Amino acid sequence: MQTPLVSVKHLYKKYQAFEAVTDLSFDVFPGDVYGFLGQNGAGKSTTIRMMLTLIAPTSGSISMFGYQLPHHRADILRQVGAVVERPDVYKYLSAYDNLQIFARLSGIKPTRKLLMEQLDKVQLADRAQDKVKAYSQGMKQRLGIAIALIHDPQLIMLDEPTNGLDPQGIADMRQMIISLRETHQKTVIVSSHLLNEVEQIATRMIIIHKGKKIIEGSTSELFDPANTVVLLDTPEQDMARKMKGSVYAEAMQQKADGWHFTLHANAVPLLAKDLIARDISIHNLSKTHSLENLFLSLTAAPQTQPA
The string of pLDDT tens digits covering residues 203-247 is: 999 999 999 998 888 876 776 677 778 889 999 888 989 999 999
pLDDT class of 304 with cuts at 50, 70, 90 = very low
Is residue 255 classed as helix, strand or coil in its secondary structure? strand
Mean pLDDT, the chain, integer: 88
On the question of pLDDT at 163 being above 90, the answer is no
Question: Where residue 303 falls among pLDDT bands split at 50, 70, 90?
Answer: very low
The answer to whether residues 127 and 184 touch, using CB atoms and an 8 Å cutoff, is no
Give pLDDT, residue 293.
67
Average pLDDT over residues 179-206: 88
Question: For 95-103, what is the mean pLDDT?
Answer: 94
Domain co-membership, 114 together with 244: no
Determine the average pLDDT of the residues in 94-115.
92
pLDDT tens-place string over residues 21-31: 999 999 999 99
CATH of the domain at 246: 3.30.70
Neighbours of 82 (CB within 10 A): 22
pLDDT in the model for residue 165: 85
Residues 52-60 have a mean pLDDT of 95
Q: Band of the pLDDT at 85, cuts 50, 70, 90?
A: confident
Claim to verify: residue 242 and residue 269 sit in the same structural domain: yes
Span between the terminal Cα atoms of the chain, in Å: 52
More confident residue, 197 or 183: 183
Residue 23 confidence (pLDDT): 96
Overall number of domains in the chain: 2
Query: Do 111 and 240 sit in the same domain of this protein?
Result: no
Predicted TM-score (pTM) of this structure:
0.78
What pLDDT is recorded for position 306?
Answer: 42
| Residue 307 predicted with pLDDT over 60 | no
Residue 298 is assigned to a structural domain of this protein: no
Confirm whether 1 is domain-assigned. no
Residues 41 and 163 in one domain: yes
Of 212, 214, 208, residue with least CA distance to 191: 208
Q: How many CA atoms lie within 13 A of 245 on its CB side?
A: 5
> How far is residue 183's CA from residue 176's CA, in Å, rounded to a whole number?
10
pLDDT above 60 (res 302): no
Closest CA to 69 of 152, 159, 8, 155: 8
| Partner residues linked to 61 by β-bridges | 9
Q: What is the pLDDT of residues 242-272, one digit of tens each?
A: 999 999 998 888 888 889 888 887 888 999 9
Which of 41, 6, 34 has its CA nearest to residue 212?
41
- Tell whether 102 and 218 lie within a shared domain: yes
Query: Are 283 and 157 within one domain?
Result: no
Of the two residues 215 and 305, the one the predictor is more confident about is 215
Domain contains 294: no
Residue 184 confidence (pLDDT) above 60: yes
The amino acid sitting at 91 is K
Contacts of 3 (CB under 8 A, 6+ apart): 29, 66
Whether residues 210 and 76 fall in one domain: yes
In a domain, 306, yes or no: no
231, 209: one domain: no
- 121-153 CB burial, b ≥16 within 10 A, e <16: bbbbbebbeeebeebeebbbbbbbbbbbbbbeb
Shared-domain flag, residues 263 and 195: no
Looking at the structure, do residues 86 and 186 belong to the same domain, yes or no? yes
Give percent of the chain above pLDDT 90.
Answer: 56
Q: Does the residue 296 lie in any domain? A: no
Boundary of a domain, candidates 166, 200, 222: 222
With 80 as the cut, is the pLDDT of residue 86 above it?
Answer: no
What whole-number distance in Å separates Cα of residue 229 and Cα of residue 221? 16
Checking if the pLDDT of 43 tops 70, the result is yes
Q: Which of 170, 194, 222 is the last residue of a domain?
A: 222
Q: Which of 166, 191, 222 is the last residue of a domain?
A: 222
Same domain, 78 and 136: yes
Q: Domain of 235? A: 225-288
Cβ burial of 38 (10 Å; 0-12, 13-18, 19+) is buried
